[in-house]
Amino acid sequence: MESAIMMIATVAADASAAAVSGDALSIPQIAAYVVAALIGGGAAWKVLPILLARLAVSLAGAKSEKDAIERLEGQLEAANKEADEARKAANDAYRERNDILRELGNVNAQLAGLTERSKLQADTIDRQNQLIDKQNQRIDDLTTQIRQLQQQLQEAIHGKAL
């Protein structure tokens, strides 16, 4: 019992020192000082308004901190949502880029195939033109031979007839 009374007296004395000091007190410390002031009586009643004011300030600070935390959590949630949307947009853009690159690869492959076919066709046309030139030369040669034969025939017919 004596130790409890001594503790209350010590807490009451500490309460007046704590009330006047500028040190930050936790809510449990302030509550203990208020209880000690209520139980201790005497001069502690003078300290009680100061302790209650500090308790109110601490509670208001805690409320303010809670509000700040809630506000920051809301901002974090919004930022996370924006980051998720940006990530989704980036992934969609990356997929679209890959699709375009794949299509471009297909077009390049088709273009390479068409280029090869056009080269083959150009070679074929060159060979055909060479054959046509040879045929034209043969036709010219044969036409010349026919004219020579016709002339010889005309000469033979006119020469025998004379």
**pLDDT, tens digit, for every residue of 49-95?**
666 677 777 777 767 777 888 888 999 999 999 999 999 999 999 99
pTM for this one? 0.42
Residue 12 has pLDDT above 50, yes or no: no
The residues, ordered by sequence, that sit 6+ positions from 38 with a Cβ below 8 Å of its Cβ are 44, 48
C-alpha 149 chain-centroid distance: 88
d(CA 54, CA 24): 9
What the block records as the tokens of 5 is 């009374």
User: What number is the average pLDDT over the span 27-42?
Assistant: 65
What the block records as the tokens of 124 is 């074929």
d(CA 94, CA 59): 51
